[in-house]
Structures are given as C-alpha cells and as structure tokens.
Structure 1
Amino acid sequence: MSDTADATRRTVRWLLGAQIALALGLVLVDIAPGLPNLLAPSRQPEIDLPTQPGDQTRRYRPRDPANPGPGVAPDMPRRLLAETTDIEGQEALSLRGAIAPGDGVRIGETLRSDRPAIVTLDSPGGSVRDALEIGRVMREIGAETRLDGTAVCFSACPYVFAGGTERQASDAARVGVHQHSFGESTVLPAFLAVEDIQRGQAEVLTYLDDMGIDLRVMGPALATPANEIYILTADELVEWDLVTK
C-alpha cells in the first residue's frame, strides 16, 4: 500500500513538473522576440529632441505615463485634471495629465455636466479604454478639441483628441502613437492575452472609424513598440484627418 502511494506521489510530481516546464517553454517562445525591449530601454533618442520626416520615433517609458521622458512637463499630473476656462468667449475645459483607469467615467461626467464648447488637451497617455470612453462623450456633446502651445498628446491621448467635432493642433504641439496593452498586465505573454488584445484593437479600429479618422494612422501605431513613440508630422495629421483646422 505504501509503495503504491509513493509511486502515485512520484507520478503526480512528475506530471506537475512536466506541466511547469511546458508552460515555461511556451512563455519563453512567446516573449523571445520582445526580450530586448524587456531587458533594455529603447535606443531611440529622447522625446524632447526634434523630429523630421523619416526620423520620428522617440523613446517612451510606458510604465510611467505621467513621466515618459524629457520633453514632458515634470509636474504632469498622474491622472487627468479638469479645469474650466474661457477661449474666444466660449466655455472651455482644460484636460491635463496622464489618463488613469477610472478617468473615463469621472471625466465623462464632467463633460456631460459642463458641456464645454472647446476642450484643450495636454496628456502623455495612459489607459486606452478610458481614452475611448472620454472621446465618445466628447463627440456626444459636440465639443471641439485643441492642442495649444507646446502641448503633448501621446499614446492613448490621440483617441481623446479624435473625439472632437473639430480638431486643431498648434505647430509646436506633438501627437504620438504606438502599440498598446489592453490586458491587466503589460508583461503578460501574448498567447495568454491574445483574445484581450484582439478585442482591444477591434475597439480602437471601430472607434477611429466612427470618429472619421483615416485608419492608416494605425500603421505606425502598430509598428512602434510600447517603449517608443512615433511623432506624427503636420502632413500626416492632416492627411489622416486627425486635424480638421
């Protein structure tokens, strides 16, 4: 009886060990192409350096959206702050800061309550789903979106910007896109998160189409790793319908 129990335990341990080894092997196979990005920072220049056509990719730190690198104000709030203001005699709302989980509901309520004619943005990015939620409310209330002065609009922020009925960016403002993570963890291997990633990308494509944005903007977005940002040129902003003025 004892020999049988020992044999059973050994078999169970062997099966458990084999399953763990198989799982580790699958993880390694899946993440191997991305290991350079996980183990070392991007070799691209910092985002405070000027760009020109053909040299538009810059380093971005996705783990800290409020502080993704030089060139973004060091006092950037860790979540969106809303401040009422006046622009050209019209009621306006200034949204500044990283887009944190929960900002979709919170900022959406503010937009519906205040119903500003113009919304200015200054955000280095953050939660994609919250950005889509804010952008849809923006379109619902018929607000314009603007990037004034040296404002930045990176990562998830362009989706908020796209929600404006009219969209305007100053010559000194910067708009940047890259790959996103839609799961709970940005380091999950893709084979564990593929369903969530595909659903998230479908949401983004549907949203951009609903907002009248040329889907060609997703080319550089999908081709640029999460730890880098592709700064759109003025011509791309116009050609892909991100700006209307």
Structure 2
Amino acid sequence: MSAPPDLETEATQEPEVTSPPLVARILTGVLVLQLGLGGLLVLGDVQIGAFPGFGPEAPPLSDPVRPGDQRRVFRPDRDRPGTQPARPPGDIPARLTLDQIEGTTYRLEGEIAPGDAARMIERLASLTPAAERLVLQSPGGVVQEALALGRHIREAGLTTQMLAGEFCYSACPYVLAAGATRDIDDTAQVGVHQHYFGESTILPAAFAVEDIQTGQGEVVGYLVEMGIDLRVMQHALTTPPDEIYVLLPEELRDYGFIADTN
C-alpha cells in the first residue's frame, strides 16, 4: 500500500538548510580575526608587534646620509656604513667584548647579547687600571641589557666615546647615552629604530602590544634619567626594525647626546 501523496512528497523533500546561530557566527569571526593577527605577527617577523616597513625599501646602509634622507636598510651583518673608520673594522663580535686601548681607555664592542650587562659590569669591576672612558661600536642587541649596563656606566661616572667612522645602532645608543660625558666624532653613525621586546610572537596579540608598551615605557624612563631629549623617540618609533634612522650631528646636539658648547 503506497503512502498518501502528501506524505510521499514530504518524505522526498530536501531538508531545509538553516543559517548558523548568531553566537556561532560571532565566535567564528573572532577566531578568524585572531588567526589573522597571528599571521601578521609571524609574517612580519615581529617579537614586539612592530612590523617591517611595507613602503619602498630604504637605501642600503652604505649610502651616505643627508638631512631628510636618513633612513637606511638595517642589515649590519651584510652591510656597513659608507664611512671611513679610524681603524680596520674587522668582524663585529657576537657579544660584547671589553679590551684595553690605552691607559684607562677601553673598547666596548660587539652585539649586546643576553647576559652581557652582568658580564660586562663584572669585567669593569676587575680592570686594572680602572676604566674611565669606553669607546663604543655595536650594531645593537637586547634593549634591557643595554639599559642595565648603561645605568652602571652612569653610576660609575664613565665617559662614552665614538671614533671617526664607527657606528652605534639600535640598542647601542642607550649605552652611549649613559656616559657622564659623551664624545662623538661627527663622522660616527648613531642610529635608532623600533625595538623588539618580549619573547612571544604568537597569539594573543594583546600580549605583544603589552610588551611594546612596557618596553617603550622603560626606554622613555631611562632616557629621562640620562638627560636625553625624548624627541629622539619620534625617529625611533617611526622607523621599522628592518631600517635604521641615522641621527645627524646637529640632532645629536639637539637631543643632548653631545653637549652644546655654544
């Protein structure tokens, strides 16, 4: 016996497709947004939430700088500034080294690696004769290490110096700023940019933002301690990590890195 026509028709109809509930759609959207943020952080190779520049690439580090043209690609392992250093540059050590130049003048050189602040503070305490002047050259490194070492340098009343044609980039200017007096040759290069803070590049992105804010707050407080004009941060915060903003001698004077003798 066949089913009544109306029941047979109902049995063969396709089930009606309903849209997902509103809550499910919202949760899906949030998940997609989080995944997108995470992807941007990873693609940007960002440890602090600062992204490389997406505009035209800056000139190479070897190109001379001039007023208004001071941003350069920052690849210090592949490129050196187009300056004439006072001595053959050689290879930059992978972490800070401290060697006597003459008398109470020592050279502090190399990348600023984890643990370098404590190691250099201990080394400075053991020197005979004691250091009075530190000649710097560094492509930068770990900001927190630079700040800790810088505070010790200021407390010890040491002079920081840069020789002709040499460079101090990224976190290095914080060590330079620590000198009770600072002697910077006009042909030396001091460069700033955005920094890496924290360790995680994965979600949630809010943690990366928190690292940025905390780290920048520490840097601002440090610069105030050292008597450096905070206008220098405008250049640092607007220059992505894969570029460097080279400060001109007049900017170094304006921002307090060099004492104005006029």
TM-score calculated relative to the size of structure 1: 0.80
Residue equivalent to 2:69: 55
| Secondary structure of residue in 2 paired with 1:137 | helix
Q: Alpha carbons of 1:186 and 1:70: their partners in 2 closer, same or farther (altered >3 Å)?
A: farther
Q: Alpha carbons of 1:91 and 1:42: their partners in 2 closer, same or farther (altered >3 Å)?
A: farther
| Secondary structure of residue in 2 paired with 1:49 | coil
CA apart distance, 1:38: 5.7
CA apart distance, 1:21: 4.3
Describe the superposition over 1:68-96 as per-residue Cα deviations: whole angstroms up to 9, x where unpaired: 6333946111111110222xxx5022111
Amino acid at match of 1:77: P
More helix by share: 1
Does the 8 A contact of 2:73 with 2:243 survive in 1?
yes
In structure 2, C-alpha distance between the alignment counterparts of 1:161 and 1:39, rounded to whole Å:
27
Alignment partner for residue 27 of structure 1, among 38, 45, 50? 38
Residue equivalent to 2:111: 98
- Number of aligned residues: 223
Alignment of 1:91-170 (within 5 A): 91-114=104-127, 115-170=130-185
For the pair 1:81 / 2:94, whether they are aligned, the reply is: no
Does the 8 A contact of 1:80 with 1:97 survive in 2?
yes
- Structure number, greater radius of gyration: 2
In structure 2, C-alpha distance between the alignment counterparts of 1:39 and 1:240, rounded to whole Å:
25
Residue equivalent to 1:10: none
In structure 2, C-alpha distance between the alignment counterparts of 1:218 and 1:39, rounded to whole Å:
17
Describe the superposition over 1:153-210 as per-residue Cα deviations: whole angstroms up to 9, x where unpaired: 0000000000100001112210000000111156877533122211111110110000
Question: Quick one: percent identity of the two aligned structures?
Answer: 44
Describe the superposition over 1:75-120 as per-residue Cα deviations: whole angstroms up to 9, x where unpaired: 111111110222xxx5022111111111111112122333411000
| Secondary structure of residue in 1 paired with 2:65 | coil
Structure 1: 5+ residue stretches without partners: 1-13
Does the 8 A contact of 1:175 with 1:231 survive in 2?
yes
In structure 2, C-alpha distance between the alignment counterparts of 1:48 and 1:180, rounded to whole Å:
22
| Secondary structure of residue in 1 paired with 2:98 | strand
In structure 1, C-alpha distance between the alignment counterparts of 2:253 and 2:202, rounded to whole Å:
34
Q: Alpha carbons of 1:42 and 1:81: their partners in 2 closer, same or farther (altered >3 Å)?
A: farther
CA apart distance, 1:31: 7.6
Residue equivalent to 2:79: 69
Structure 2: 5+ residue stretches without partners: 1-23, 83-88
In structure 2, C-alpha distance between the alignment counterparts of 1:218 and 1:200, rounded to whole Å:
13
Amino acid at match of 1:60: F
Higher relative contact order (CA 8 A, sep 6+): 2
TM-score calculated relative to the size of structure 2: 0.75
CA apart distance, 1:50: 0.4
CA apart distance, 1:134: 0.9
